Amino acid sequence: MAAAEELHFLLVPLAAQGHIIPMVEVGRLLAARGARVTVVTTPVNAARNRAAVEGARREGVEIELTEVAFPGREFGLPDGVENMDQLVDLAMYQAFFKAFWSMEAALEEYVRALPRRPDCLVADACNPWTAPVCDRLGIPRLVMHCPSAYFLLAVHCLAKHGVYDRVVDHLEPFEVPAFPVRAVGNKATFHGFFKWPGAEKFDHDVDEAEATADGLLINTFRDIEGVFVDAYAAALGRTTWAIGPTCAARLDAEASASRGNRADVDAGRIVSWLDARPPESVLYVSFGSLAHLRPKQVIELALGLEASGRPFIWAIKEAKLAAVSEWLDGEGYEERVGDRGLLVRGWAPQVTILSHPAAGGFVTHCGWNATLEAISHGVPTLTWPIFSDQFSSERLLVDVLGVGVRSGVKVPTLFLPAEAEGVHVASADVVKVVTELMDGGAEGAARRARAKEFAAKATAAVEEGGSSHADLTDMIGYISELSTKKQLGEKSTNNTEADAALSVVPS
């Protein structure tokens, strides 16, 4: 069996911030164990993640970033569009995934040219096109999931028990069958990935690649999701390792500030601003890399944050929309909130903010990474899901872990009546829920204490002796054995072929 130092892992992330960031962090964890790690991605995504790789190098951890050209143009995407956060409509999404699916040959060419066959390919669950390459080249393949085990299991149970087929109305309530905890929702809030018209082939390939993988990795940890991880592993009949939260590893200031992308703000200025605030007093507001609020909802949120009287940092991607920027400027919003509110018009240094002692609450869209980042840093959440697995993360945070307060969003915006103009939470309700989160009396204090306990557990999980550390060790051992077996199998097959060839040579 080969030692970790002799193993070479190829990591193939999905080109979306919520997938590539944790995949690079898995690379860091593996490289820290001595393995050789290569992250294979497209040029734009490689550039965005170079700072993370350099940060790891400063700590003596080597990760290689390899670029494979992205064939977006062949599918009608503009040059430079290589990440999901650059897509604006369904047609672009379809073109984006078609382009990725067509990268099979390029990946194979790259792997074949390597001097030695890699020991394992870790593919994002949304990259099933990597499976045939591994089959042809005899490379063990793991599938990495980036949403929660809660979500994966819920979607599995709903499909298996025919709920998706039986229920017609997207708003009809149901309970998730055979689920470890009581979970009530509807199709609108338990929507699986690739469940859009025209994506049937993607959906089928994703399921198939998962069912045939040599094992599954989930970015979570047993103290928050053990029961869901075990049930999912049993349901799929696949060896599954919970190796997260990948964000629990502490980064140096520079790596933290440019995690996933160069921040659109001076991180040093943000830290000085936070340094001047009392502990646990600041609200951080962000809806991740993909989700956008409608302009009217942005305005209601802005008014609510202003009226709440709390200091806040708001990563406001929507400021790039004319309707929003005109409102902000026309109202003199930033002058009005003065030094109490910081608007980041684009990419914010999220973990720098959440890891600061002044961070006291997180208005989040409940992307799984944001959820893990809140948990890992002990920051209670105001949950504001927008689509897909985010509603499941909200349920986990509020109903299972007791570290969140609901904002009041009930469904994705698509299901709101037209006259609502995308407004889920009016400004007065924003004030109410922010007060509940930040003040909340005894209940609020208990919530904050629980958040701190989970943060300590998250850190312990990835350290030596922790469950995620142990799962990663186990995974490395498993791959080492599997890779050796495959190589031996290959040799014995070659020997058989050689023997057969000899047997027909006339003596």
- How many residues touch ligand UDP (CB under 6 A)? 21
- φ, ψ of residue 381 to 5 degrees: the values are -115, 145
Q: Could you say which of 82, 210, 225, 373 contacts ligand UDP (CB under 6 A)?
A: 373
- The least CB distance from residue 461 to ligand UDP, in Å, is 18
378 counts as binding ligand UDP under rule CB under 6 A: no
Task: State the Cα–Cα distance between residues 271 and 73, nearest whole angstrom.
Answer: 40
- The least CB distance from residue 74 to ligand UDP, in Å, is 26
Q: Could you say which of 51, 81, 248, 370 contacts ligand UDP (CB under 6 A)?
A: 370
Task: State the Cα–Cα distance between residues 224 and 333, nearest whole angstrom.
Answer: 39
Which of 30/270 has CB closer to ligand UDP? 270
Residue identified by tokens 């993360």 is 393
367 counts as binding ligand UDP under rule CB under 6 A: yes
Residues 299-338 vs ligand UDP: string with x where CB under 6 A? ----------------x-----------------------
DSSP 8-class letter at 425: S
Residues 22-61 vs ligand UDP: string with x where CB under 6 A? ----------------------------------------
Task: State the Cα–Cα distance between residues 464 and 150, nearest whole angstrom.
Answer: 25
- The least CB distance from residue 73 to ligand UDP, in Å, is 25
244 counts as binding ligand UDP under rule CB under 6 A: no
Q: Which stretch binds ligand UDP (CB under 6 A): 294-302, 364-372, 411-419, 461-469?
A: 364-372
Which of 302/479 has CB closer to ligand UDP? 302
480 counts as binding ligand UDP under rule CB under 6 A: no
- The least CB distance from residue 196 to ligand UDP, in Å, is 16
Residue identified by tokens 């991607």 is 317
392 counts as binding ligand UDP under rule CB under 6 A: no
Q: Which stretch binds ligand UDP (CB under 6 A): 114-122, 268-276, 283-291, 429-437?
A: 283-291
Instruction: Decide if 51 contacts 161 (C-beta within 8 A).
Output: no
350 counts as binding ligand UDP under rule CB under 6 A: yes
- What does the chain come to in residues? 507
Residue type at 49 in one-letter notation:
N
The three-class DSSP label of residue 65 is strand
- φ, ψ of residue 216 to 5 degrees: the values are -125, 140
Which of 106/321 has CB closer to ligand UDP? 321
What burial class does residue 434 get, using C-beta atoms within 10 Å of its C-beta: 0-12 exposed, 13-18 middle, 19+ buried?
buried
The residue ranges of DSSP E strands in 345-406, in sequence order, are 359-364, 381-383, 404-406
Which of 41/350 has CB closer to ligand UDP? 350
Alpha helices in 33-145 (DSSP H): 43-58, 90-101, 104-112, 131-137
Q: Could you say which of 12, 265, 271, 290 contacts ligand UDP (CB under 6 A)?
A: 290
Residue type at 339 in one-letter notation:
D
389 counts as binding ligand UDP under rule CB under 6 A: no
Which of 128/385 has CB closer to ligand UDP? 385
289 counts as binding ligand UDP under rule CB under 6 A: yes
Q: Collect all residues with Cβ–Cβ distance below 8 Å to 207 and sequence separation of at least 6.
A: none
369 counts as binding ligand UDP under rule CB under 6 A: yes
Task: State the Cα–Cα distance between residues 371 and 288, nearest whole angstrom.
Answer: 10
Tokens of 27: 């690379």
291 counts as binding ligand UDP under rule CB under 6 A: yes
Per-residue HEC secondary structure of 261-302 comes to CCCCCCHHHHHHHHHCCCCCCEEEEECCCCCCCCHHHHHHHH
17 counts as binding ligand UDP under rule CB under 6 A: yes
Q: Which stretch binds ligand UDP (CB under 6 A): 119-127, 282-290, 300-308, 455-463?
A: 282-290
- The least CB distance from residue 146 to ligand UDP, in Å, is 7
Q: Could you say which of 56, 224, 348, 425 contacts ligand UDP (CB under 6 A)?
A: 348
Which of 130/286 has CB closer to ligand UDP? 286
Task: State the Cα–Cα distance between residues 441 and 424, nearest whole angstrom.
Answer: 26
Which of 97/347 has CB closer to ligand UDP? 347
Task: State the Cα–Cα distance between residues 106 and 114, nearest whole angstrom.
Answer: 13
Long-range CB contacts (within 8 A, 24+) of 442-448: 444/380, 446/402, 447/380, 447/402, 447/403, 447/404, 447/405, 448/280, 448/378, 448/380
CA Rg, the chain, in Å? 24
Q: Which stretch binds ligand UDP (CB under 6 A): 208-216, 285-293, 297-305, 397-405?
A: 285-293
For residue 137, the surrounding DSSP H or E stretch is helix 131-137
Q: Which stretch binds ligand UDP (CB under 6 A): 117-125, 160-168, 189-197, 369-377?
A: 369-377
Which of 22/118 has CB closer to ligand UDP? 22
Which of 51/134 has CB closer to ligand UDP? 51
Tokens of 181: 């905890």
- The least CB distance from residue 499 to ligand UDP, in Å, is 53
- The least CB distance from residue 315 to ligand UDP, in Å, is 4
**Three-point CA angle 307, 374, 285, nearest 5°:** 30
Tokens of 476: 């490395």
Tokens of 281: 């007093």
> Which residues here bind ligand UDP, judged by CB under 6 A?
16-18, 21, 259-260, 286, 288-291, 315, 347-348, 350-351, 367-370, 373
